[in-house]
Structures are given as structure tokens and as C-alpha cells.
Amino acid sequence: MSAAAVRSGAARTPRFLAFFTGAYILWSLVPVAIAVLFSFNSGRSRSTWQGFSLRWYYSDPFGSVWNDESLRNALRNSLVLAVLSILIATPVGVGLALGLTRWRSRPAKVANGVLLLPLVTPELVVGTALFLVITNGYSFMDLGRTAQLVGHVTFSLTYVVIVVRSRLLSIGPDLEEAARDLGATSLQAVRLIVLPLLTPAIFAAGVLVFATSIDDFVVSSLLSSGSGTETVPVKIYGSVRGGATPALNALATIMLAASMLALVGVFVIMRLMRRRQGDDNAGENSLKELAAW
């Protein structure tokens, strides 16, 4: 009776929910698809379709992403910042995750708490604070790319720690202890056992840092030193309400493509690694890891 009841009970609700979910997905993704579509508009409008063209990508002599230096710079700045952020935030974050999970003490608990704060603090608050401290206190630093990098890393650290730590917890301390029982030092255990097991999570963390940095707006603009350090989101924000052409859509589309490429690439790698580690649900688990939980 229970199987039949479950089946009949389960069959009723999902139809509305399925429709609702489908509608949600359309609602959340179709506008973006339309924005991408208009990047191929042949005219200047971002809301009236005037034909297909690649002019905003490279052929328009002054306005295309290829030819407009400010757009190109924004693209370059975004990518450089993202790569640098990965290079800094990932190792520091992995270290944090490892260290804080194993080192049980007051400072560690406080650090854990502080690490959660960026998740719930508005970027405006943190960005403002960073701006003030850099311009008034830390005289070894200037506004500009370094400052923006610092801001990006500070926000990304939390994500790295969350992803790596959850993987660490699910791996558990047993393998490490077994290694130590067999004579390895703690360092060797970490290097030879834990890190390899963590690799999918580290990849996920890296690509999360990439996405956080690429999409970051508030901190990037608060800590920029002028048009030379504008990133793509800053450029979009500044131009949306005024004087923008579909080149803006093109810029956003290029960034989107970069993110998606990174995402898909890393997902494939992660799924491969997980399968090798014996994970039966590699695909879904990789997806979950990429969403930081």
C-alpha cells in the first residue's frame, strides 16, 4: 500500500511544481540569452532588433570590443585580476581550510567565525572599509589593481574555505591517521594523501574564485584608480543607463563565455577525478561542489 500511495501521492504535486520550475528556469535564463542575442545586433539599439552582425565584436572601427580600447582594457583587467586571484586565494584558502579544521583552539574558532562574515556583509561595507584603510592607512598600498586584487581575494577566501573544508570533512581523518600510523609525518600525510584527495575540491574552489572575481563589481569599482583599472562589470554599470551600444552586451557575452568555458572545463575534470576516486554520483556531486556546498 505504501508504494502505491507514494507513487500516487508523488504523481500529483509535481506537475504544477514541474511547470513552476521550468518557468523559473526560463525566467532566470532567457533574459540573459536575449542580452547575448542583442550583442549581435546590427544597429545601435539594445532593445530593438535590427539584424544580425558581428560589428560590436570586432568590425566596428570605434565601437567594437576589439577596437574600443576602454572595452578591451576592461576585459583584460577582469581576466588578469581573476587569474591573479586564483593564484593567491586558492593556496591561502586551502591552507586555511586544512589548518582551521585540524587546529582546534580559540583563535581557530574566531577565525572560522570571521571567515563567515564576508558572506553576510554587504560588499559596500567591506569595499568602503578597504578603500578608507588603503587611502588613509596602508601607505604601502595604492588604489588600483593591487587594491582590487586584495579585495577580490578577501571575498573569495570564504568560498575556498567552505568548499575545501566540506570536502575535507567528508574525506574524514581516517586515511590521514592510517598514513601516520604507517610512519608518515603530518606534512607527508597532507602532501601525499589529503591534497590528492582534495584535488576536485581545489579545482572547484579555483573556478569559484574565478567567477567571484570576474563578476565582482562593488569592490572593483570602489578600489579602482580610474579608467585604466576598470573591469567589465564596472564598465557595464557605468554605461548601462547612458550611451551604451550593443558592444556592452558583447563584452558581457565574452565574459559569460569565459566563465562558462572555465566552468565546463573544470566540471569535466572534476567528474573525471571523482570517477577515478570511486564516486558513483560524480556528475551531480561535482555540480554541488561547484556551487560551494
Partner 1 sequence: MIHPMSRRRFLSLSGAGLSAVALSACGDKKESSGADALQIASPSKPVKLSISADNQAIKGGLAVESGPLRIANYADFVAPELLAKFEELTGATVEVSTFTDDNEALTKIASGSFAVDLLMSTAIDTLPKYVATNLIQPLQKDYLTNFANLWDSVKDPFYDQGAQYTVPYTVFSTGIGFRSDLVAAPLEGDNGWDALWDSQYDGATGLLDSYREAIGLGMLRLGNTNLNTESKDEIDAAIDELKKMLDTTNPRIDVLGYQAIPEGTTKVNQCWSGDMLLALGYLPDDVDASALGYWQPPIEKRVINNDAMSILAKAEHPVLAHTFINFMLEPENAAINQAYIGYQSTLAGMEAETLIAAGSIPENLANALVTQDDFAKGLRILALPLAADEIWQNAWSGLNTGG
Partner 2 sequence: MSRRAQRSPLNPLWIGLAAPGMAWMALFFVVPFYAVAAVAFGQVDPILRTAIPEWNPQYWDFTSFSEVLDRVVGGDLRTVFLRTGAYVILAVLGCVAIGYPVAYFVSRHSGRWRATLLALMILPFWVSYLMRMLAWFNLLQPEGWVARALSVLPGDDRPWLNGQPSTVVFGLIYGYVPFFILPLYATLDRIDGRLLEAARDLGATSNQAFWRVTLPLSRQGLIAASVITALPMVGDYYTNDLLSASPRTEMVGNQIVGYLQQSSQPQIGASLVLILAVLLLIVMAGYLVSVNRAQKLVTR
3-class secondary structure, 41: strand
Identified binder of partner 1 from the candidate list 45, 59, 121, 186, rule CB under 8 A:
45
Nearest CA to 209 out of 257, 262, 255, 156 is that of 156
| CA gap 146, 134 in Å, rounded | 10
C-alpha cell at 44: 545601435
| CA gap 236, 248 in Å, rounded | 6
Q: How far is the CB of 167 from partner 2 (least distance, A)?
A: 14
Q: Which does 31 bind (CB under 5 to 8 A by kind): partner 2, partner 1, none?
A: partner 2
3-class secondary structure, 52: strand
| CA gap 35, 28 in Å, rounded | 12
Q: How far is the CB of 69 from partner 2 (least distance, A)?
A: 21
Residues 216-275 within binding reach of partner 1 (CB under 8 A): 217-218, 221-222, 224-228, 230, 234, 237-238, 241-243
* Shorter beta-carbon distance to partner 1: residue 53 or 135: 135
Identified binder of partner 1 from the candidate list 16, 62, 140, 293, rule CB under 8 A:
62
| CA gap 162, 128 in Å, rounded | 25
Q: How far is the CB of 251 from partner 2 (least distance, A)?
A: 9
Q: Which does 150 bind (CB under 5 to 8 A by kind): partner 2, partner 1, none?
A: partner 2
Nearest CA to 39 out of 233, 247, 238, 256 is that of 247
3-class secondary structure, 216: coil
Overall size of the chain counted in residues:
293
284 binding partner 1? (CB under 8 A) = no
Q: How many residues bind partner 1 (CB under 8 A)?
A: 31
128 binding partner 1? (CB under 8 A) = yes
DSSP string covering 166-200, please? Answer: HHHHHH-SHHHHHHHHTT--HHHHIIIIIHHHHHH
CA 191 to chain centre: 26
Q: Which does 200 bind (CB under 5 to 8 A by kind): partner 2, partner 1, none?
A: none
* Shorter beta-carbon distance to partner 1: residue 167 or 235: 235
* Shorter beta-carbon distance to partner 1: residue 118 or 238: 238
Q: How far is the CB of 214 from partner 1 (least distance, A)?
A: 16
Per-residue string for binding with partner 1, 3-42, x by CB under 8 A? ----------------------------------------
* Shorter beta-carbon distance to partner 1: residue 143 or 256: 143
Q: How far is the CB of 41 from partner 2 (least distance, A)?
A: 10
CB 57 within 8 A of CB 39: yes
Q: Which residues contact 104 (CB under 8 A, 6 or more apart)?
A: none
Backbone angles phi, psi at 116, to 5 degrees: -80, -20
- Give the Cβ contact number of residue 276 at 10 Å: 10
Q: How far is the CB of 259 from partner 1 (least distance, A)?
A: 21
* Shorter beta-carbon distance to partner 2: residue 60 or 246: 246
Q: Which residues bind partner 1 (CB under 8 A)?
A: 43, 45, 48, 62, 70, 127-128, 131-132, 135-136, 139, 142-144, 217-218, 221-222, 224-228, 230, 234, 237-238, 241-243
